[in-house]
Structure 1
């Protein structure tokens, strides 16, 4: 039995599977969205997944969630900061992944945001 789930998966399919599993089992969940290509820590936001904006990972996740009938129901940590030009290395070759540069403090900040959601959820403030 779990009190809370923190999703910090960057790959869409396993992220979707974890979220669906948590929601199906009524386990509270917070999900970290894309920290890559972001540099401004003051832009971090926490809200329901339905209200996320200007985050490519959250956008792709919402589309996949909508296909399975999920539109809301868990908190997301994200940044609406525009993706910095030159921070993404796109690869068109088959079986090759694109790369997105990530500065060290943004994933840490998102982790702190997730921890905040968990603690506030456990003490009844969320």
Structure 2
């Protein structure tokens, strides 16, 4: 299977557009004790080295990664699905001062939660 096919399949499981900003760097599957699910599948994603567009015209440098953030997403075939997002930090020169910035993730994460927007909308609908 070629890389394009693999990415196409992954894009069906992941929140829309997330592969524009993240690379899949691994996954693991662990048995869990849960009433409905047998395993927890965790997909590890690392943010690509692309500065957020609003800082593109500034002087900047990569400043490493933040602690990964775990996001719960739709279950997949008897597996709870978690996404481990390893997000980048940047040093940006603004007004002659270096400030630390990172990308906003409101597009993928429901406000005030640790679940994907799509999954939060689904849960809200069935409630």
TM class, shorter-length: under 0.3
| TM-score normalised according to structure 2 size | 0.25
> Going by fraction, where is helix more abundant, 1 or 2?
1
Greater relative contact order, per chain length (Cα 8 Å cut-off, separation 6+): 1
